[in-house]
A and B are shown apart, each in its own frame.
Chain A
Amino acid sequence: MKHMIHSTTGVLLAGLIATGCSTAPPADKVAAADAALGTAAQAVNQASGNPHVAKYASSELEAANTSLEKAKEAWERKEDLPDTTQFAYIAKQRAATAEELANARAAEEAVTLAALERDRAVQVAAAQAPARRAAEPGARSPRALQVTQAVAGFAVGSAKLPASASPMLDGMVSNLKEHPDRVIVIAGHADNTGDTRYNDVLAMQRAEAVRSALLKRGVDPARVAIRSFGEASPVASNDNVAGRQENRRVDAIIAEGDPQMVGSTQGKTSTTGSGKDEPKKKPKK
């Protein structure tokens, strides 16, 4: 960045000061504008170097560049230091915004892809489960999965558990208590009211509300995970009131977490047990 003393406009300024012109800006204001311009240029440079920005936030970066150019033009004009400082500040904020947005969008895309993979794996495993049980009579399938519509009918824009939740929650809790090796993944959903990002958050809050209720009922937090589908996975049409109400829901997937239970005859009526609730069994090698 050119400093006042070395640029041609700096010479002009010095000339103005020498002639006693009262409109010459004070030296400290010039230095401040110069510093602001330097910071802005650095911020825009950093954002340009971020590989996510080019892919996910190119228009935001362009806006930052536009402001930086205006700041440089104002600096060359030199009579308008406030403009330089203003445009430099805007450029700096826009550059930082571009980076944050790019990181957010990259993370969101990664989550979406992972969710799609997970859904496919869940469907495949759920489809295979009955066949496996039939093939090995008397032994429990280690990959039994249940996809249960757990809690539906949340109010619009709300993550407060509806009244119908209580018996559903009791059912989940007893399932988990009877099978200490099982784990639960709670997936929150939303109808399509409001924007996508808002619904991603709302759906996550709904899943969190169910998790909270399970923990209050004594479920070990290590056995509970939550995720959000936002509005991306409706079970009914969003075009009518009843359909949207169905979509405002939380699903639960209960799966066996212990892979070593293949062919095992262990169960809640184990002869080694004392009859009390037993803690999660360690896998036998």
Chain B
Amino acid sequence: MMLPHRFHQPARALAACALLALSGCASKELNRQLANTRIAVDQAHIAGAAEVAPAEFQAASDKLQRAETAANDRKKKDAMRLAEQAQADANLARARTDSAQARVAAAEMAKSNSILSGAYNR
């Protein structure tokens, strides 16, 4: 399992900004939103959302891709909407994943407690 790519995102955001600058559509607000969305999708991926919450994670991934395409096509408003939605979807995917893992941990704890309580109680 890989460690979180803490330093990965700013570089990609810069690259995208450069692309948009060349196409004459350099919007700070849009770039910031796209960067935040990429971080949210990455974190959901690292948490295992692709396996545990596939519907929400796939929606987030797809919308992010469409947002980036729209940004390159200078469709700023579309790009902004899609990126915002993708971020909300990615956050939900991650929350579903955390929730499922917490349930697993609680079940394991209950199981180990019941095994150990046999050893404690006469």
Quote the shortest CB–CB distance from A89 to chain B (angstroms): 6
Query: When each residue 1-40 of chain B gets 1 if its CB lies under 8 Å from chain A and 0 otherwise, what string results?
Result: 1111000000000000000000000000000000000000
A224 to B28, CA, bound (A): 55
**Residue from A86, A100, A122, A143 having most chain B Cβ neighbours under 10 A:** A100
Interface residues of B in 66-122 (CB under 8 A from A): 81, 84-85, 88-89, 91-92, 95-96, 98-99, 101-106, 108-109, 111-113, 115-116, 118-122
Partner of A118 from B47, B81, B88, B116 at Cβ < 8 Å: B116
Q: Give residues 106-126 of A contacting B (CB, 8 Å).
A: 107-108, 110-111, 114-115, 118, 121-122, 125
Q: Which of B3, B48, B96, B115 contacts A185 (CB 8 A)?
A: B115
Q: Check if A198 sits within 8 Å of B102, measured CB to CB.
A: no
Residue of B with least CB distance to A105: B102
Question: A189 near B: Cβ within 8 Å?
Answer: no
Query: Which of B1, B102, B122 is the one whose CB lies under 8 Å from A202?
Result: B1
Q: Enumerate chain A residues within 8 angstroms of B102, measured Cβ to Cβ.
A: 103-105, 107-108, 111
Which residues in B have their C-beta under 8 angstroms from that of A258? 118
Task: Give the shortest distance, in Å, between B50 (CB) and chain A (any CB).
Answer: 14
Q: A198-B46, A201-B48 are in contact. Are A100 and B115 (CB under 8 A)?
A: no
Question: In the complex, are the beta carbons of B119 and A225 less than 8 A apart?
Answer: no
CA distance A193 to B3 in the complex (A): 9
Instruction: List, in ascending order, chain B residues with CB within 8 A of A257's CB.
Output: 115, 118-119
Complex Cα distance, B76 from A11, in Å, reads 33
Measured between beta carbons, the chain A residues less than 8 angstroms from B46 are 198
Whether the pair A114, B113 counts as a contact (CB closer than 8 A) is: yes
The answer to whether the Cβ of A151 comes within 8 Å of any Cβ in the partner chain is no
Q: Which of B3, B84, B103 contacts A156 (CB 8 A)?
A: B3
Residues in chain B near residue A259, CB distance under 8 A: 118-119, 121-122
> Closest 9 A-B residue pairs measured CB to CB?
A225-B112, A107-B102, A100-B95, A93-B88, A255-B119, A104-B99, A104-B98, A104-B102, A100-B99
Pull 29 A–B residue pairs with CB atoms less than 8 Å apart, ordered by A.
A93-B88, A93-B91, A97-B88, A97-B91, A97-B95, A100-B95, A100-B98, A100-B99, A108-B105, A111-B102, A118-B109, A121-B120, A142-B122, A145-B119, A157-B3, A197-B101, A201-B47, A204-B101, A204-B105, A204-B108, A205-B1, A225-B111, A225-B112, A226-B108, A227-B112, A228-B105, A253-B116, A255-B115, A257-B118
